[in-house]
Structure 1
Amino acid sequence: MNMYQKWGVNKCGPWLLWALAVLLWLIPAGQQVWAQNSAVCAEVKIVIEQKLSLERQAFDAKMVIRNGLTDSAIENVEVQLLFMDANEELVVGTQDPNATAAQFFYRVDSLEGINAIDGTESIAADSSAEMHWLIIPSAGTATGSGTLYYVGAKVTYTLNGVVTTVEVAPDFIVVKPMPMLVLDYFLPDDVYADDPFTEEVEPQIPFTLGVRIQNTGEGVSSKTTIESAQPKIVENRLNLLIGFEILGGYVSDQLAGKSLLLNFGDIAAGAAKVGRWNMVTTLMGRFVEFDASFTHDDSLGGDLTSLIDSVHTHTLVHDVLVDLPGRDGIRDFLARDVDVLRVYESDNVDTLVSDQSSTSQLSVSGAQAQLTFSAAPGFVYAKVDDPFHGEADGISVTRSDGKVLAPENAWFSQTRNSDLTWSYFLNVFDANSTGIYSIAFVRGDYSTLSGHVYQLVSGQNQPLPVAPVTLRGLTDSSDDVSLTAHTNQAGEFRFTRLQPGTYSLEAGSVSGLEDVAAYAGSAGGQVQTGLITQIALGRQVDATGYDFVKQTTVLPMQASLSGVVYADMNGNGVQDAGESGIMNVAVILSEQNIQGGSVAMTVQTNELGFYQFTGLAAGTYTLQVSDVDGMEDIRAQAGTSGGTSQPGKVTDITLFSGDDATGYNFMKQAFGTTSLSGQAVCNTGCDVEGIKVVLTTYIGGRYWEKFTYTDAEGNFVFHNIKGNVYYTLTLLHKEGLFLSTSKVGNAGGNANPILGGTFFNVWPKEGQPAEGYTITYRDVPGTGSISGKLFHDLNGNGVQDEGEPGLAGRRATIGPANVAVTHTDESGNFIFSGLPAGTYNLAIDFDERFDGVITPGSAGGMNAGPNLYVTGIVLANGAHARDYLFASNTDPKGSSLSGIVYEDENGNGVFDEAENGIEGVPVRLRHIRNTSSMTQEDSIVYTDASGHFTFYELNNSPLQPYVYRLDVGGIEGMVDGSATVGDAGGTANPSGGIANIRFGTQMQAQGYFFAKRSQ
């Protein structure tokens, strides 16, 4: 066999490992929002993702297999790496990053000439395969100056059906000692920025996110860096407007600029280095939880090869400086771990700190003070109250043996209390303390203004905590001032660091309390209830004694509201004898009262259908009743305090103090027991699903409407409708379908075409299903047409001579079964297009009988009778029948009625220029002289794209004008607004319709407007 292997292992380091992802979970509490004079805690969780990288040792193992055979492939090639110690004993090498007991992690880094080495692939004849592995030793694999290991391989393959295993002679590697890193992170609890409880915008104060890297291993951590991402908010349930940002950083107190990458360089074994990032937030608050975790890239060995031993977090008290002899002069971290205080040094020393705060004494004399506590060896810390309440500009601290404390080791701090007041502190850190310190305060030319807020209880003033007080003023340098403070548990408030100027104090509102008195203090002022003005402050003035008194608010008389929910059997809107109240109906009262409180309450009707709400504040309310099984809302009645009613609801009820509002009644009516059904079919197999079907009527003085859609077979049904009522059933034609025929169902009636649909007049009987209302469509339009003209034949010769005008706006219909309708244009022309072959009738509708001459056109036909229509028009496929002339001896103008349905966005009841009409709304015109059946004038049209509707050819007698009523269908999500009467008169009623419209022949009634408003 002509085959050879070449094997070798080379050090490929230094290898750069992106091995660490440090996650900081920070939840700032104390970030609060102000609402109704109460503090609401808003927690925010943020994450700061970081990457730690360093150079470390890794190896590249290479194998080349040459197949010199020209006629045979080497098949089923499998290569396994073998790892041995200096005594050539096997040790564990693994490709599993979670196998932490192994000594080596390895992975296939590249393959050439073969796709896999797991026994599934081959090396072609007369070719080579080259393989590379990345090998990374685990932590603790080496000690001292280095440890010897051997790496070999076992190759298994099949040649001409024979399986062979070959062990490749191992090569040696020397693994050097490795570093092991411990990370400590430091973050303060309180951070400062804009205070959400004040009107002014406070500045952002940068705070420290610190880190110390300890190398506890035996090797150097080379070229060590940590790259930080900007903080990212990952949880903010109350959508608090807050942000966090890292501005830049330091390594060993050396500025790293605005870069988020901190370069720690080489960290020797047993040494440590520190870094800091400066952060800011947009709102002040407190970090109440601080966690950190890390992961290692699995492709580089994961937990097995990780050089991160652990990560810890600590609450930072302050950046201090351990200035003992031999220290490095780099700032250190004074931190608290629960209740243990330690200083974590950049010199890799951790030392407990004795907290002397509870035994410390501070004696103040002017701008000088003396701090004393028990002398103690080692590190000490003391925190005492700041006698100047944060007003001092600086501090200098000298120990009794003459040592002047470093500026880092004496500082001021402040904390927001739970009652929204502030506490101010002086802090001292030292080593080997004598226990006695002289303190010099540097105080500016600021003034203070303080006082109390009390609540008058049983004639005695009691402290009122958490009460807001607002300071406004103008300094002598013309700067505006606006600040808000809150009282502490003693009822005390205090404003500090005030410049000379003139100020005012105002006691803020507290729920349930009202102001009754105010008292000016030591700097004078003018007093009003809840307000003190003209307070003049000079330099370094401590103005005290500014007090406010509040008492429980005396509530105005309360209102009530009541009514009845009952079954209005005859629909007349009056609770007649025998019409009982409905028990256990939920009545809901909602909306906003004038005191600003949100109101939402529910009561149940009693056995008489009566309900009542009591104890109501003055305001504007809405009433709404719940559904009742088997019944529907038909009407609502606004009572003695007014309102706007619609079925099941009354809005805009205005109550005043002491009102006893009655008469808010709701009428329901039982559903019927009848159903009405039908079908849309297509004789050419087209899709008849989704055709809108509308059922309308007029019951109990109210326009009523329901709609549904045809199913996949074209079927539709309306359940639970009332019988012995006249309905209009309308199928709105679906785009792409063409009407062929209409069939009336078993409840009788007739079919009528309208633009965009066909409607049936139906009179179902109670308890007897009305069914069989069918419309047949086709989806292939015809190619023929019938056209003609209507004109005023002035000389009666049946021919349109010069000067004889066409008659516009007249309805033309073709049959059989009235399958299409159109109107004459401005010149009197009409045309029916898209007609299939067949026999048609053609008619022109007039208010009165047609008086004139009818001349059939090119497709023939004959008059059905004097002054009626043309019958027997035989239209061939694709033919265009022209010149059907209707020569009228008179010029009847025809009666019409038109208007607009629109969205009344501003609620003023007027169709304004900026408001839009609503398309597709059904409008019904009803002849009310005959209430038991429909007349030929009763019809439905649908509004066009601009909201317009028009009814043509209304048959009115000149001797006895007919009376009409207009009603507009409902729209989901909208309620009826006002209705505007047009130029033929009428009466607008609360149900949204217009009744008593009276006009005679040849009248064009316009201006009937119907407003809709969103719920």
Structure 2
Amino acid sequence: IAGVTTGTSTSPGVTPSAVSGIVLGGGEHSIANNFGEILPVSVAGIVFFDTNNDGIQNNAGDTGIGGVDIVLTGTDDLGPVSLALTTNPDGSFSFEGLRPGTYTLTEPTQPTGTINGITTAGSAGGNATPITTTPSAVATIKLTTPGSRSSDNLFAEIPTNSSVSGQVWMDMNDDGLANGSEPGIANVKVELSGTDIANNPVTRTAYTDAQGRYSFTDLAPGTYTVTEPEQPAGTRNGQTVAGTTGGTATPVATTPSAISNIHAAANQHSTDNNFGEIPQNSSISGRVWLDGDNNGVVDAGEAGIAGVTVRLSGTDSTGAPVTAEVQTDAQGRYSFTDLTPGTYVVTEPTQPADTLNGQTVAGSTGGTATPVTSVPSQIEGIVLGANQHSTDNNFGELRGGSISGRVFKDNNDDGQVDPDETGIP
């Protein structure tokens, strides 16, 4: 401020401050050339991982996030203000040496590996954006009193470093354990759904790799469900098993298979959420035919017998009973497909019309056939593995023959039935 004599003072905000052009006459004194100073204000806070989404840095995992851009905008007594900095390694930041005014803090870019958490206005108040709004900001920070400070402006971020994973596999013995020798099933669709800790709905889709494995990564803490929406081709539903962080798996009788209530905390990895499938890609087939030479071999020219009922019975690898019936086609062929590994019996319950029982022959995977003297004919002890096809389980039949003749009065004893010779009833 220029004194009582003439002079020109610099404007507020111009440094260094000066009073120039002070003109002094003889015996004059220039007094009250004063330099007024204002105590600066400041705005500070921290950006941090909020592992439990409570908006407070109070857990061991709630570490600061360094290198995050923070922008300060607002208006002081000299006009608009715009400043920027990046957070320190511990996530802290501070705008110092500010003139009194009204300010806004903004985090323009969501930190890598996070979703938005709770933003909290600091010690001087202000209006924080809700968790659903990005970019996060604290507006209307009023620092009109010189020397005042707004501290603890908090930008809490939820880490996305959790995961849910598992495997879809052929559970050959239906024990619910992926034992390493049982193959995975590739290209199976698996869906993730649920709600993260910030109440955001989460939906994702993955497909199993060549080993049947799937993984959903970069998840925020939350509660999730994994679902296998479609039964893999060539299988029937087996045991579904919740993983390392627990959950509720659907029973075998329920499809689609799912594991719900999978709780994933920050940096927690729920593994072995597995979907066991029982292979249903094996078969038993054979033929019913007229074995003209009764050698037990389907020779060229020997015809099949159509419309013959063949019955399948047995127990699959899960202990479940299996029964089915088919009829032979025009060539006498029959087939039971989509079978689970197990031990089976094929039976011809009724002897085909106008035939006699011939040789019954066990097929390509072995078994025990009944002898010609036993009816109904059957082949038992047919053992099937996964994707195994037992062929040529055949039922040979013999064409029925006949013997006929006549009892008569041979009047002339010549051994011939003459026209006048009658039969004897």
Q: Which has the higher contact order (CA 8 A, sep 6+)?
A: 2
Per the normalisation by structure 2, the TM-score is 0.36
Return the TM-score normalized by structure 1: 0.17
